[in-house]
């Protein structure tokens, strides 16, 4: 199913920016997830996954983008802002987004492992909380899925090659028996 019809060229422009952030994660060997926060047509916060690089659970793309946007506006509230993210937010990021009072979240690919924008849970729109976020999913879904698939494919290839070279090392013939001509 394609929902591309509901998105504007501007939406696409910002999701491309989120994908650029995801590419930065790839360059660090991190799972490629990127996000940008937009206010009045301008990007005020960018982020990409840096969990391994920064050794912190908190270094998700959305959290970094929220921090930067907070700094930019000088407020913990992100009312009037929209987050574009390549992969559906997890429980931590969805929680932070609700806390930020952000207006809208635009999602690229759905996450079947941790999606809390409607896939596993819908934290973004839970009526029990004091704030609900408008959620739209499926913007440039193919591109957002492809970058993850490419990363995991390369990772598997690298792991396979590493195992092969380890196996080759352990299978190396022992030093030849001394061949004395005595």
Query: How many CB atoms neighbour CB 2 within 10 A?
Result: 8
Residue among 13 and 110 whose Cβ is closer to Zn ion: 110
Rank residues 66 and 179 by Cβ distance to Zn ion and give the closer one.
66
50 belongs to the binding site for Zn ion (CB under 5 A): no
156 Cβ contact list (under 8 Å, min separation 6): none
Task: Give yes or no: 23 in active site.
Answer: no
Binding characters for Zn ion, 3-42, by CB under 5 A (x = yes): ----------------------------------------
Is residue 60 near Zn ion by the rule CB under 5 A? yes
If one asks whether residue 93 binds Zn ion (CB under 5 A), the answer comes out as: yes
90 binds Zn ion per the rule CB under 5 A: yes
**Token pair recorded at residue 90:** 């997890």
Residue 109 contacts Zn ion per CB under 5 A: no
87 vs 140 by CB, closer to Zn ion: 87
Q: In angstroms, what CA-CA distances link 70 with 48, 49, 97, 107, 178?
A: 16, 18, 12, 21, 71
Q: Which residues bind Zn ion (CB under 5 A)?
A: 60, 90, 92-93
């Amino acid at each position: 199913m394609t929902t591309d019809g509901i998105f504007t060229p501007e939406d696409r422009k910002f999701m491309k920016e989120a994908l650029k952030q995801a590419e930065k994660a790839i360059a660090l060997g991190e799972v490629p997830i990127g996000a940008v926060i937009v206010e009045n047509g301008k990007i005020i916060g960018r982020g990409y996954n840096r969990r391994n690089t920064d050794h912190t659970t908190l270094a998700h793309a959305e959290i970094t983008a929220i921090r930067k946007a907070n700094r930019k506006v000088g407020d913990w509230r992100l009312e009037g802002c929209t987050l574009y993210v390549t992969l559906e937010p997890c429980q931590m990021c969805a929680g932070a987004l609700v806390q930020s009072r952000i207006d809208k979240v635009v999602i690229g690919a759905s996450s079947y492992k941790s999606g809390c924008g409607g896939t596993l849970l819908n934290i973004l729109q839970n009526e029990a909380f004091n704030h609900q976020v408008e959620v739209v999913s499926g913007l440039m879904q193919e591109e957002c899925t492809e970058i993850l698939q490419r990363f995991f494919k390369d990772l598997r290839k690298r792991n396979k090659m590493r195992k092969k070279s380890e196996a080759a090392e352990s299978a190396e013939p022992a030093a030849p028996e001394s061949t004395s001509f005595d």
